[in-house]
Amino acid sequence: MNSSLLYMMINVVLVTPEIPHNTGAAGRLCLATGARLHLVKPLGFSLDDKQVRRVGLDYWKDVDLKVWNSWEAFDAGTFGAKKYYCTTKTTKPHWEVNFCDGDYLVFGCETKGLPEQLLEKNNEHLLTIPMLKNSTRSLNLSTSVGIVLYESIRQVGLVSQA
């Protein structure tokens, strides 16, 4: 890839992630695409966890990372930003959205997804990754991040670093 080109900024948000491997993999995806990774506490592990660093390899220190103490702090700190909530509890495919520079892609924890009240409050901004009916309940968190992140980047495009 030409190093003089950068992707415009997309934000990936993991709300209460539980598995360090998934967070490390999401961090690596963010680093590879120029996205910022936001982690919303409580986390199911320590960021010093060996598994997070192992998956992020020696790149973890370079991830553009912002940690928030709660959903309320995150929501207040990003007030007015466009947020899309990724869930299996909707039918709108992620590719039917027109992503823009600065958008936030919000993903829930591995075992529970996003809280129902958050989904109900943001019903018009729910997205899903279509899957064959009765094939599986959901995809792995870091896989889901990769799918939606790369679609958003495909739409937003590249800009010159100069």
Give the structural domain span for 84: 5-160
- In total, how many domains does the chain have? 1
Scanning 7-162, the segments in alpha helix (DSSP H) are 20-33, 50-56, 71-77, 116-121, 141-156
Low-confidence winner among 35-44, 49-58, 112-121, 122-131 (lowest mean pLDDT) = 49-58
The domain that holds 98 is classified in CATH as 3.40.1280.10
Maximum Cα–Cα distance across the chain: 48
Buried b (16+ CB within 10 A) or exposed e, 152-161: bbeebeeeee
What pLDDT was estimated at residue 146?
Answer: 96
Task: Give which of 77, 73, 84 is closest to 106, Cα–Cα.
Answer: 84
Position 60: which residue type?
Answer: W
What pLDDT was estimated at residue 1?
Answer: 39
Q: How far apart are CA 31 and CA 28, in angstroms?
A: 5
Q: How far apart are CA 27 and CA 64, in angstroms?
A: 8
Low-confidence winner among 71-80, 132-141, 152-161 (lowest mean pLDDT) = 152-161
Position 58: which residue type?
Answer: D
Q: How far apart are CA 50 and CA 134, in angstroms?
A: 36
What pLDDT was estimated at residue 64?
Answer: 93
pLDDT tens digits, one per residue of 26-77: 998 998 899 999 999 999 988 775 666 665 556 778 999 999 999 999 999 9
